Amino acid sequence: MIANLEVCDTPETVAHRAADIIEATTRAKPDASLLIATGNTPMLTYAELARRDLDMSRVCAVQLDDYLGIDDEDPRSLYGWLQRSFVEPLGVTRVLRFDPLAPDPQLACEQYAQAVRKLGGIDLAVLGLGPNGHLGFNEPPSNASAPTRSVTLSEASLRSNASYWRGKDVPKSALTAGMDVILAARVRLLLVTGAHKRDILRRVLSEPVTPEVPASYLREGSLTVVADREAAC
Ligand code: GLP
């Protein structure tokens, strides 16, 4: 399967194109389940969506990942970031989230996976690309059947996530939607911007599919990549 790669001039035009795809999905299915990444890349997309006259009140925002042991009031909470960037500006009322304080993280992950199944799976996954090829926090090596689980973050992820929380430590472990959940999404949208993602995007799209680059598994189904010139050329 060849990924559909759309190259846009700038991160802003990436955001417009991505917002078009999300808007089309939610107009066709107002109660769509959307797997929603945080991270820097999709922020312009969510801001663009918020400028549009859309009724997102019936969609279900499904959290892609969160740090373990971080409460909602902590500025590093990825749930908090999801709320500020997507849920509140878009008037979303349904959220399927992780419980980062669960005494039994494994059980919390099983409950999350079961709730996703009950939703009927994911209609659209909005994904960013980790600098080491991770999706959510599916760190290399992760194969296509890696389940929703708690993980120890790699050095590469600790480094890249440090830029989000200047002056604060990055939590060392996290909960992530499994590769199985992500890859079963009916539409997979990967957003990639910036020259620092050029090499990993090339590996995702052009090198053999491998657990060492978890995002490469996206090529085994239908995939739309929207990238800016800096990342794609
Ligand atoms: C982070 C997150 C991912 C995110 C990715 C890319 O570590 N776990 O959910 O999509 O890495 O982040 P960014 O968009 O900031 O480059």
pLDDT value, residue 1: 52
Q: How far is the CA of 212 from the centre of ligand 1 (A)?
A: 17
Asked if residue 178 has its Cβ within 6 Å of ligand 1, the reply is: no
Residues in the chain where the model's pLDDT stays below 50:
none
Q: How far is the CA of 1 from the centre of ligand 1 (A)?
A: 25
Catalytically annotated residue among 65, 66, 123, 228: 65
Q: Could you tell me which of 145, 210, 142 has the C-alpha nearest to residue 184? A: 145
The per-residue pLDDT for 172 is: 97
- Evaluate whether 138 touches 179 at the Cβ level (below 8 Å): yes
Residue 40 near ligand 1, beta carbon < 6 Å: yes
pTM: predicted TM-score of the whole model, two decimal places: 0.97
Asked if 220 contacts 144 with a C-beta cutoff of 8 angstroms, the reply is yes
